């Protein structure tokens, strides 16, 4: 009989590696919690139309990679391929923008799904932490989000990442650029799929990674030459604020990102230690997305950082995170009476916030001490009939092997003292 396996292109997170992912999520979210961002959680699936309108029908995400399905009731749904459209939909539905305190600042964490060709750093199920600031058009907000992501990565110890920055213009100047770009692209020797993309969203062609396409793009009109004065001034202020904050970035005129909703500021975090899948996260401003999905005009900006990609970046730099041991104390009872008494001590230690585990299954001393070793506990508490008759338990230092008897009533206090030193 064969056992089931995780679907192709997905993975299970199991200890001890899962602790690293939790630590990364915590490090990315910590600066957000400290900057006025509240936590939001949305369903794992949404109406297909939300992503078709929001992310863009011309994107690979919607046209090729989305897991879409029809329910028994005939509703067309899709597993979420990204987080922004869902978060904005939830904020609009709850009328958060009407509470009078703009921008609405939200952060989230979860799994996302895209039908891609699985390879290192690119999976069909992946984990992200994201942040959105909804309802304000302010270069300081764009800069704030980039600075917070930079802070999160530096807290983790990452040093070899780069921030790429660009402006995609707005509804005033981008159409003029779009016309010029379409005119240039129509003259190139491109396949049918790419030709169709020229008509729907020509900027996406610039994002094509194929060498034969990139070769033909030499001499393509540059967006910076078409930016209106307002967009130029806005972008310059973002750049100045980042520079003043000591955050290094590189101007990248070809950076368009893979979603149709971006306007003005767009940015990407890349790590050269990850090979072809070098992006660890990114984002930008999406001033028109609210209207695209039926909401009012709500200029917004946000980003999403890949937890999986960030873990790979840490490994590429050889960074070992200092993860707290999941167990500090391990209790080993010898006999039924000791089992009852020590289980009570374990419960008390846990209530005091001390990470404690127990030798379950009635194993002998040798097997139980092996489990204590494997748990990574600093101390083991051992008790048999003779110890209990004397009103003591043995506390064993797992590193030095030293052992001493402590009165049963003082065990919790003694362990708290030893663990604090």
Residuewise pLDDT in 10s, the chain (421 residues): 568 999 998 989 998 899 999 999 999 999 999 999 999 999 999 999 998 887 776 666 777 788 999 999 999 999 999 999 999 999 999 999 998 889 999 999 999 999 987 777 678 999 999 999 999 999 999 999 999 999 999 999 999 999 999 999 888 888 888 889 889 998 888 888 888 888 877 887 887 778 888 888 888 888 888 999 999 999 999 999 999 999 999 999 878 765 667 889 999 999 988 876 788 999 999 998 999 899 999 999 999 999 999 999 999 999 999 887 789 999 999 999 999 999 999 999 999 999 999 999 878 889 999 999 999 999 999 999 999 999 999 999 999 999 999 999 999 999 999 998 8
Q: What is the DSSP string of 250-315?
A: EE-TT---S-TT-EEEEEEEEEGGGTT--EEEEEEE-TTHHHHTT-----EEEEEEEHHHHHHHHH
Would you call 393 helix, strand, or coil by DSSP?
strand
CA atoms within 13 A on the CB side of 208: 24
Domains, the chain, ranges and CATH?
A: 17-173+227-316 (3.30.930.10), 329-420 (3.40.50.800)
Question: What's the rounded Cα separation, in Å, for the pair 20 and 131?
Answer: 21
Model pTM score: 0.88
Question: What's the rounded Cα separation, in Å, for the pair 259 and 207?
Answer: 10
Rounded to the nearest angstrom, the gap between the alpha carbon of residue 387 and the centroid of all alpha carbons in its chain is 50
């Amino acid at each position: 009989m064969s056992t089931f396996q995780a679907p192709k292109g997905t993975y299970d997170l199991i200890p001890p590696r899962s602790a690293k992912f939790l630590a990364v999520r915590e490090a990315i979210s910590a600066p957000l919690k400290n900057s006025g961002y509240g936590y939001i959680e949305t369903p794992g699936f949404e109406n297909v139309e939300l992503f078709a309108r929001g992310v863009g029908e011309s994107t690979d995400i919607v046209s090729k990679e989305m897991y879409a399905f029809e329910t028994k009731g005939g509703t067309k749904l899709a597993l979420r391929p990204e987080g922004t459209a869902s978060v904005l939909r939830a904020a609009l539905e709850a009328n958060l923008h009407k509470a009078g305190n703009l921008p609405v600042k939200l952060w989230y964490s979860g799994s996302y799904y895209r039908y891609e060709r699985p390879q290192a750093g690119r999976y069909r199920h992946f984990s992200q932490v994201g942040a959105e600031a909804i309802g304000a058009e302010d270069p300081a907000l764009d800069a704030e989000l980039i600075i917070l992501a930079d802070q999160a990565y530096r807290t983790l110890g990452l040093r070899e990442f780069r921030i790429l920055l660009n402006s995609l213009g707005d509804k005033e100047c981008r159409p003029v650029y779009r016309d010029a770009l379409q005119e240039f692209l129509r003259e190139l020797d491109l396949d049918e799929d790419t030709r169709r993309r020229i008509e729907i969203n020509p900027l996406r062609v610039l994002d094509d990674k194929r060498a034969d396409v990139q070769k033909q793009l030499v001499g393509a009109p540059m967006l910076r030459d078409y930016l209106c004065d307002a967009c130029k001034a806005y972008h310059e202020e973002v750049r100045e604020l980042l520079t003043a904050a000591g955050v290094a970035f590189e101007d990248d005129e070809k950076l368009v990102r893979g979603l149709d909703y971006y306007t003005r500021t767009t940015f990407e975090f890349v790590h050269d230690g990850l090979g072809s899948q070098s992006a660890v996260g990114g984002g930008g401003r999406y001033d028109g997305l609210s209207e695209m999905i039926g909401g009012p005009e709500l200029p917004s900006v946000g980003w999403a950082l890949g937890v999986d990609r960030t873990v790979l970046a840490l490994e590429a730099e050889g960074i070992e995170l200092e993860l707290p041991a999941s167990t500090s104390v391990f209790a080993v009872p010898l006999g039924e009476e000791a089992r009852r008494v020590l289980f009570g001590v374990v419960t008390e230690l846990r209530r005091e916030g001390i990470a404690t585990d127990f030798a379950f299954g009635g194993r002998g001393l040798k097997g139980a001490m092996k489990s204590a070793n494997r748990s990574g506990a600093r101390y083991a508490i051992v008790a048999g009939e003779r110890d209990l008759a004397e009103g003591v338990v043995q506390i064993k230092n797992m590193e030095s092997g030293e052992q001493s008897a402590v009165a049963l009533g003082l065990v919790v206090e003694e362990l708290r003292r030893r663990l604090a030193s």
